[in-house]
Amino acid sequence: MEKIHLSEVLTHLGENRTEYFNAIAPPVIQSSNFMFADLKELRSAFSDELQHHVYTRGNNPTVAILREKLAALEGTEDALVFSSGAGAIAAAVIGNVQAGDHVICQQAPYSWTSALLRKLLARFGVSHSFVDGTDVENIKAAIQPNTKVLYLESPNTFTFDCQDLESCAALARAHGLVSIIDNSYASPIFQNPASFGIDVVLHSGTKYLNGHSDVVVGVLCANKAMVRKIFESELMTLGGILGPHDAALVLRGLRTLELRVKRSDENARFLIQQLENHPKVARIWHPFHPSFSQQSLARKQMRGCGGLFSVAFHADSFEQMEAFIHRIQRFLMAVSWGGHESLMMPSIGFYNIPGRENPPAHWNFVRFYAGLEDPAWLWEDLEQALVGL
Ligand SMILES: *Cc1c(COP(=O)(O)O)cnc(C)c1O
C-alpha cells in the first residue's frame, strides 16, 4: 500500500471538515442510530453495515475517522476499534479458529492473552502451544496439521522477547496460518508488522495511541477481507465497540502520537544511561541495549523502542527492596504504560498474594515506563531512592 505521510495521517486523514461546518476538531456524533430518507436508502444501508450508517454498534462517523487513521498508521487496508485491547485480541483470535483448531503463541504474551488461550478457548475445543518464539525453528516445530493461527507479541512488555517478523510471516504463509501480532509495545511509530507480511496487527490503544491514561481501547488492523470477516462475526455479535466520545479522545491523543512516543523513547534511553553505571544495578532489559541478546533483530525491525525498560537491582533482602520502591516518588506505582506519566511495576508487588502464583521475574526486578517529564527530574528521583539500597 502507498504510505501516507505520518503528519498527513495524524492531522488530516479522514477529516472531511466541510461536512461539519469546517470545524478543526471532528464532531462527537453521539447518536446510537441513523435515519433513512426512504426505503431505497434503508435497503442499501442494510446491505452493508460496515460502510453505511445504520446503528453505532456497526458504524459511527466519529469512530470511522479513527479507523481510517489507524489503518493508515499500520499500512493496512482497514481497521476496527474495540472497547479494550483485550477485546481486539479476543476478536482476532476467535475470528480465525473453530473447535478442533490449534493456536501457536509466543511463550510470554500479555496475561489476558494467555488466559484467552488457556481458559476461554480451551472450553470451546481450541488447543494451543506456547513456544519460545525467539527462534523461529521452535515455532516451525510446533506446527500441527490443525494449526490455524500464529500469535506473536514482539517485543513483549516485561523482558522484550522478539520474534523475527519476516520469518514468522513467511512460515505462516507457507503453512496457511493467519499471523497475528500484538504491536502495543512499539506503537505504529516504531514498528509496522504488516510491512513484514503479518496479517493482523493489534494494539492496546490504551497505551501509546490514546496516550493520556483516560481511555481503554483496542485496535485491529488488517486487509479489507479480514476486517469484514471479524466485523460481521466477532464485533457485531460480541459487541465490544468503542463509543464515539472515547473515539474522539483517542483522535485527540493521536495528534501528538509521534511527539509523545519519541519523547518517551529518549527519556528511557537517558535513564538507562544513568542506571547502567550505577553499582546497584545488576541488569537492564531494553531491546536496543548492547546487552540485549536480540539487539540486532530488534534494530532490524524497529525504528525505536518507546518508554519501557526493566531493571534488576542488587538488593540484599525483600525488606531493602520494598524500602527502595517506597522511596521512589516520581514514577507512579501502577499497571499500564504509554501515558504522559512515568510508571513502575515492581515484580515484588506480585509476591505473597494469596491464591496467586509468584511471577517468573525475580523480586529484584522492576519494569519502568518513562513518560513525558523532564528526564533529569526523573533521574533525580531514582538516584535519591537508590541511596541505601
Ligand atoms: C495493556 C495491554 C493489553 C490489553 O489491553 P487493554 O486495552 O488493557 O485491554 C494487551 N497487550 C499488551 C501488550 C498490553 O500491554
Above 80 in pLDDT, residue 359?
no
Q: Are residues 270 and 248 in the same domain?
A: no
Q: Are residues 346 and 228 in the same domain?
A: no
Which of 319, 317, 316, 324 shows the shortest CA–CA distance to 368? 324
In a domain, 130, yes or no: yes
Q: How do residues 306-333 score in pLDDT, each as one tens digit? A: 999 999 999 999 999 999 999 999 999 9
Pairwise CA distance, residues 321 & 366, whole Å: 10
CATH number of the CATH domain containing 271: 3.90.1150.10
Q: Is 240 in the pocket of ligand 1 (CB under 6 A)?
A: no
Q: Are residues 248 and 350 in the same domain?
A: no
Q: Which of the listed residues 89, 105, 203, 206 should we mutate to test ligand 1's pocket, taking the one with most ligand atoms within 8 A of CB?
A: 206
Q: Are residues 244 and 272 in the same domain?
A: no
CATH number of the CATH domain containing 34: 3.40.640.10
What domain range includes position 41? 6-254
Residue 121's pLDDT is what? 98
Task: Using the 3D structure, point to which of 254, 278, 310 is the last residue of a domain.
Answer: 254
In a domain, 225, yes or no: yes
Q: Are residues 145 and 225 in the same domain?
A: yes
Pairwise CA distance, residues 151 & 178, whole Å: 8
Query: Cis bond leading into 155, ω under 30°?
Result: yes
Q: Are residues 233 and 325 in the same domain?
A: no
Q: How do residues 252-288 score in pLDDT, each as one tens digit? A: 999 999 999 999 999 999 999 999 999 999 999 999 9
Q: How do residues 111-147 score in pLDDT, each as one tens digit? A: 999 999 999 999 999 999 999 999 999 999 999 999 9
- Which ligand 1 atom sits closest to the C-alpha of 216? 7
Q: Are residues 221 and 80 in the same domain?
A: yes
Q: Is 112 in contact with 93 (CB distance < 8 Å)?
A: no
Residue 348 vs residues 68, 276, 358: alpha-carbon distances, Å: 42, 21, 9
Q: Are residues 37 and 129 in the same domain?
A: yes
Residue 276's pLDDT is what? 95
Cell 480451551 belongs to which residue? 122
Q: How do residues 1-58 score in pLDDT, each as one tens digit? A: 668 999 999 999 999 999 999 999 999 999 999 999 999 999 999 999 999 999 999 9
Pairwise CA distance, residues 87 & 73, whole Å: 20
- Which ligand 1 atom sits closest to the C-alpha of 185? 13
Cell 528511557 belongs to which residue? 268
In a domain, 242, yes or no: yes
Above 70 in pLDDT, residue 149?
yes
Residue 358's pLDDT is what? 72
In a domain, 310, yes or no: yes
Residue 356's pLDDT is what? 80
Q: Is 59 in the pocket of ligand 1 (CB under 6 A)?
A: no
Above 80 in pLDDT, residue 105?
yes
HEC string for 145-212: CCEEEEEEECCCCCCCCCCCHHHHHHHHHHCCCEEEEECCCCHHHHCCHHHHCCCEEEEECCCCCCCC
Residue 1's pLDDT is what? 63
SS percent in the chain: helix, strand, coil, step 5 = 40, 15, 45
Q: Are residues 103 and 182 in the same domain?
A: yes
Task: Using the 3D structure, point to which of 254, 276, 293 is the last residue of a domain.
Answer: 254
Task: Using the 3D structure, point to which of 254, 270, 297 is the last residue of a domain.
Answer: 254
Q: Model confidence at 197, in pLDDT bands (50, 70, 90)?
A: very high
Q: Are residues 105 and 225 in the same domain?
A: yes
In a domain, 85, yes or no: yes
**Centre of ligand 1 from the C-alpha of residue 204, in Å:** 4
- Which ligand 1 atom sits closest to the C-alpha of 205? 7
In a domain, 373, yes or no: yes
Above 70 in pLDDT, residue 94?
yes
Domain total of the chain: 2
Q: How do residues 364-381 score in pLDDT, each as one tens digit? A: 999 999 999 999 999 999
Cross-sheet strand order for the sheet of 332-333: 281-285, 308-313, 365-369, 343-346, 332-333
| CA-atom Rg of the chain in angstroms | 22
Pairwise CA distance, residues 142 & 37, whole Å: 55
In a domain, 1, yes or no: no
Q: Is 57 in contact with 244 (CB distance < 8 Å)?
A: no
Above 90 in pLDDT, residue 352?
no
In a domain, 124, yes or no: yes
Provide the whole-model pTM: 0.97
Residue 196's pLDDT is what? 98
Share of the chain above pLDDT 70, in %: 99
Beta carbons within 10 angstroms of residue 125's beta carbon: 11
Q: Are residues 193 and 54 in the same domain?
A: yes
Pairwise CA distance, residues 338 & 255, whole Å: 15
- Look over the chain and give the mean of its residue pLDDT values, rounded to a whole number: 96
Q: Are residues 303 and 222 in the same domain?
A: no
Q: In 205-246, where do the E strands start and end?
A: 218-222
Average pLDDT estimate for 353-369: 86
3-state DSSP assignment of residue 301? helix
Q: Which of the listed residues 160, 204, 242 should we mutate to test ligand 1's pocket, taking the one with most ligand atoms within 8 A of CB?
A: 204
